[in-house]
Amino acid sequence: MPDLDGTLTALADPARRAVIDLLQREPRCSSALADALELTRPAMSRHLRVLRKAGLVEEASLEDDARVRVYRLRREPFAGLREWLDDVEGFWTDQLASFKRHAEAKAKRPRA
Amino acid sequence: MTFTADDPAVDQVRVSVLVAVPPDEAFRIFTEDIDLWWRRGLRYRIAAGRAGTIHLEAGVGGRLYEAFESGGDTQLTETGRVTAWDPPRRFVFEWRAVNFAPGETTEVEVAFEATASGTRVTVTHRGWNRIRADHPARHGMDAEGFLRTMGRWWGDLMGGLREFGAGRGG
């Protein structure tokens, strides 16, 4: 079960959300992330530490070069996000189904 | 330096339904009859069990609001105003949940396209990345409010991450 509190706190910072956005495309090393977001390396290290403690990212080695440490997203916490998005989508799906029922029932009735 | 994702695909929820009536009629029923089809219950209405009505005023600047009786008075809660009105093709309105901070808003577009058997109605709810991310999240909020707030924090991660979350174990 993902810890939503920890996830939310970690994602409260726009720079950390930008890191997540970048890692969603591919794993990257800390310095590449710092360069991409125009942050200093110590600042990026701090952000990555928060993300790692929240369980959102993990460190890994590149397959072709074990000395290079990269960060990648962990999938588990984002299942919580999906639940929320499903909730928004479910809201509108329910509304449109209700609209369809009403509109089609009304169309069948003779006009006054 | 900006971190805002402008790609609309990562910033929206989209839902469609096919309705067996022509677009002009679908548009009219959707807007004029909104209180008749808008679902009841706390998930959809503020008034919930009390006698409340949903209103949508036609034209740009028109309001989407819920009216309900409270302590002998009629209270109005406005969700947002119409920003585009192009019957029978589309209309757009602002969407502010009751727990949004002042100035925070999202946008809902409703489009009506003719199909062979009637109309495809598509609702696109977007603009989540405009919601301030550092807004206090949980203070004094019930579970429903918290759920909606989560959308603000996570809004700009929509789309791709959604697929990512869905792929768990797959």
Residue B4 predicted with pLDDT over 70:
no
**Cβ-nearest to A88 among B13, B39, B165:** B13
The pLDDT, as a whole number, for residue B20 is: 92
Tokens of B111: 């489009």
Query: In whole angstroms, how far apart are CA A107 and each of A93, A96, B35, B85?
Result: 21, 16, 17, 23
CA distance linking residue A24 with residue B165, whole number of Å: 11
User: Nearest Cβ partner of B125 from A18, A20, A88?
Assistant: A88
Element (H, E) at A50: helix A41-53
- Tell me which architecture the domain covering A1-75 has in CATH: Orthogonal Bundle (1.10)
**Is the Cβ–Cβ distance between B122 and B91 less than 8 Å?**
no
How many angstroms separate the CA atoms of A100 and A97, rounded? Answer: 5
Q: How confident is the model at residue B31 (pLDDT cuts 50, 70, 90)?
A: very high
pLDDT in tens, B53-108: 999 999 999 999 999 887 788 889 899 999 999 999 999 999 887 667 677 788 89
pLDDT above 90 for A81: no
Q: Domains in chain B, ordered, with CATH?
A: 9-164 (3.30.530.20)
* Rounded Cα gap, residues B17 and A99, in angstroms: 9
A61 contacts chain B (CB < 8 A): no
Give pTM, 2 decimals.
0.62
B145: phi then psi, degrees, rounded to nearest 5:
-65, -40
Q: Determine the distance in angstroms separating the CA of B49 from the nearest CA of chain A, rounded to an integer.
A: 18
Tell me the chain A residues in contact with residue B133 when contact means C-beta distances shorter than 8 Å. 11-14, 17
